[in-house]
Amino acid sequence: MSGPSLALIIQGVERCPNRDAAIPGRRGLALIAAMLAVVMPRSAEGSPATFVTALPVATGQLLVRFNFQTTFSNPQFFGLQTPVTIAYGLIPHLALFVNLNRSYQTLGGGPDVPALSSWAARDVAVYLRYTVLKIDRTQSIFRIPPLGGAFLPAGGNAIRGQGAYLPGSLQTGSGTVDPYLGTAVGYHSDAFGAAADATYRLNPVAGGGISPGSEFRSDAQVETRLYPRKLPEKGLPGLLEVSLDANYTRDAASYADGVLAPLSTGRTLKQDLVLEYSTLRWQIGIGGRWPLMQSFDSPTALRERFSAFLFYEYYFSLPHRRHRRWDL
């Protein structure tokens, strides 16, 4: 479930910045808590409630979205995440979403200082989305789909190096089943779209390892078509769109082995710029993310400099069971 059994790569811990964390006992716990000041627990992680959430998923449709996201932070942090989002339309109003993720992250390193690294699965998000309000018109579409589910503890929250926990930014899980609730709202017309979501992930304190803390997220997005500016009278052209997303995150306090980590809360606001190209069966996008505001209690918290990401989305039609007339 969690811990070092999950494909952990330690490149070296000698003379690492957090070497003192190996000291056991009360002092060790205090130092672990201090170490959490170098956390960037989840703010670099993409929101599982992407704006895909607000759009319809047909009954029997399977959507798979592959993402690659790199993050560069100070001091000397690099992360690579590979989340895969799978959506399946159960009935017209209800869709099931699953987010799988695996990430590589490395902290520190230099001519005389080996880096600390980990490569492991992250927690799996599973949630249902139900459209409670939809206003479909010939010129516009408006949806409000609340969502609810949980993060399952597939990631590691007790990944260690030389007997001590690695810093929170190198942990990949929360160690507990985290209830996950929220809602999305979306509006689209033929030339313009806007969407937003607000979600809360409740992270109960785990008995062991690092609990990254509960998290509130709120995202807002606007998008418009770049090409073709005027749609052709006939047919379905590929569309090139530009999207601006603002992502706000508020992280509650972290815990280490059940002990509150002081100075571990934080708030961030980041801005994404994304270019997307859509066809009937797939969509590809590339974008960058810049922090607009990073407010942490700890003066030594990791501060993101820049993220770049690429995604590819493919739509599948699932075959129906033969001779099930009611299936239509």
Partner 1 sequence: MRVGVWLAAIAVVGAALVAGTSQAAEGGTRAVAKLNGVFSPRGFFNIIVRLNRLDGAEWAKLDLKKSQITVDFAPGTEVTPESMQQVERQAGYKPGPVTIEALTAPVDRSAPGWKRLKHPGTKNSVARWFELNF
Q: Applying CB under 8 A, does 316 fall inside the site for partner 1?
A: yes
What is the C-alpha to C-alpha distance for residues 74 and 203, in angstroms, rounded to an integer? Answer: 26
The Cβ of residue 100 has, within 10 Å, a number of other Cβ atoms equal to 16
DSSP-assigned letter for residue 326? G
What is the C-alpha to C-alpha distance for residues 81 and 68, in angstroms, rounded to an integer? Answer: 6
What is the C-alpha to C-alpha distance for residues 103 and 231, in angstroms, rounded to an integer? Answer: 40
Residue 55 or 263 with smaller CB distance to partner 1: 55
Torsion sign over Cα 263, 37, 249, 86: negative
Q: Applying CB under 8 A, does 283 fall inside the site for partner 1?
A: yes
End-to-end CA distance of the chain: 40
Residues of span 51-110 touching partner 1 by CB under 8 A? 55-61, 89, 92-93
Q: Which of 74, 162, 224, 279 touches partner 1 by CB under 8 A?
A: 279
User: What separation in angstroms does the CA of 119 have from each of 55, 82, 90, 204?
Assistant: 33, 11, 34, 24
What is the C-alpha to C-alpha distance for residues 126 and 154, in angstroms, rounded to an integer? Answer: 12
Residues of span 247-276 touching partner 1 by CB under 8 A? none
Q: Applying CB under 8 A, does 312 fall inside the site for partner 1?
A: no
Number of residues near partner 1 (by CB under 8 A): 45
What is the C-alpha to C-alpha distance for residues 71 and 73, in angstroms, rounded to an integer? Answer: 7
Residue 92 or 163 with smaller CB distance to partner 1: 92
Residues of span 102-161 touching partner 1 by CB under 8 A? 131, 134, 136-138, 140-141
Torsion sign over Cα 2, 124, 182, 51: positive
Q: Applying CB under 8 A, does 323 fall inside the site for partner 1?
A: no
Q: Which of 25, 111, 232, 299 touches partner 1 by CB under 8 A?
A: 232
Q: Which of 112, 234, 299, 326 touches partner 1 by CB under 8 A?
A: 234
Min. distance of Cβ 227 from partner 1 in angstroms?
A: 13
Q: Applying CB under 8 A, does 327 fall inside the site for partner 1?
A: yes
Min. distance of Cβ 46 from partner 1 in angstroms?
A: 19
Residue 157 or 283 with smaller CB distance to partner 1: 283
> Contact at 8 Å (CB) between 114 and 12?
yes
Q: Applying CB under 8 A, does 281 fall inside the site for partner 1?
A: yes
Helix (H, G, I), strand (E, B) or coil at 27: helix
Q: Which of 207, 237, 258, 288 touches partner 1 by CB under 8 A?
A: 237
CA triplet 192, 58, 276: central angle to 5 degrees? 35
> Contact at 8 Å (CB) between 74 and 305?
yes
Residue 27 or 320 with smaller CB distance to partner 1: 320
Residue 26 or 328 with smaller CB distance to partner 1: 328
Q: Applying CB under 8 A, does 317 fall inside the site for partner 1?
A: yes
Phi, psi of 33 (to 5 degrees): -60, -40
Residue 4 or 56 with smaller CB distance to partner 1: 56
Q: Applying CB under 8 A, does 15 fall inside the site for partner 1?
A: no
Give me the residues that bind partner 1 (CB under 8 A), please: 55-61, 89, 92-93, 131, 134, 136-138, 140-141, 188-190, 193, 231-239, 278-281, 283, 315-322, 327-328
